[in-house]
Amino acid sequence: MLNLHIATIVIMAANVLVSLRGFNNTTFFDRYKFSIGGIQAGQKDRMATSGFLHVDFSHLFLNMFTLYFFAPVVIGWFGSVKFLIIYFVSLLGGSLLALFFHKNEPFYSAVGASGAVMGVLYAAILLNPDMQLGIMFIPIPLPAYVLGIAYLLYSIYGMKSRAGNIGHTAHFGGAVGGYLTTLLFKPELFVTDTLIVILLAIPIIILFALEKMGKL
More confident residue, 66 or 27: 27
Residue 68: exposed, middle, or buried by beta-carbon count in 10 A (0-12, 13-18, 19+)?
A: middle
Q: What is the pTM of this model?
A: 0.92
Report pLDDT for 1: 59
Residue 1 lies in a domain: no
Contact, 129 vs 145, CB < 8 A? yes
- Alpha carbons 97 and 13: distance in angstroms, whole number: 26
Domain span including residue 30: 6-212
Across the range 151-163, mean pLDDT stands at 78
Considering only 171-175, 187-191, 206-210, which range has the smallest mean pLDDT?
A: 206-210
The pLDDT-based confidence of 212 (bands split at 50, 70, 90) is confident
Give the DSSP letter of residue 34: E
Residue 26 lies in a domain: yes
Give the DSSP letter of residue 187: T
pLDDT of 137 > 60? The answer is no
- Helix then strand count (H, E) for the chain reads 11, 4
More confident residue, 210 or 186: 186
Q: How many domains does the chain have?
A: 1
Long-range contacts of 205-214 (CB under 8 A, 24+ apart): 206/153, 206/156, 207/152, 207/156, 207/159, 207/172, 210/156, 210/160, 211/101
Report pLDDT for 143: 83
pLDDT of 20 > 90? The answer is yes
pLDDT of 126 > 70? The answer is yes
More confident residue, 29 or 153: 29
More confident residue, 172 or 216: 172
More confident residue, 139 or 175: 175
Q: What is the pLDDT of residues 33-79, one digit of tens each?
A: 999 999 999 999 999 999 999 999 999 998 999 899 899 999 999 99
The pLDDT-based confidence of 145 (bands split at 50, 70, 90) is confident
The beta strand positions in 78-168, using DSSP E, are: 109-110, 132-133, 142-143
Look up the CATH number of the domain holding residue 13.
1.20.1540.10
List the alpha helices (DSSP H) in 128-188: 144-161, 168-185
Across the range 166-170, mean pLDDT stands at 80
Cα 186 to its chain centre, rounded Å, is: 20
pLDDT of 181 > 70? The answer is yes
Report pLDDT for 163: 59
Q: What is the pLDDT of residues 85-119, one digit of tens each?
A: 999 999 999 999 999 988 999 999 999 999 999 99
Largest CA distance in the chain: 50
Residue 95 lies in a domain: yes
Q: Is 82 left (phi over 0), alpha (psi -120 to 50) or beta?
A: alpha
- Helix, strand, coil percentages (3-state) for the chain, rounded to 5, are 70, 5, 25
Average pLDDT for the chain: 90
Across the range 152-181, mean pLDDT stands at 83
Residue 136 lies in a domain: yes
What is the separation, in whole angstroms, between the first and last Cα of the chain?
42
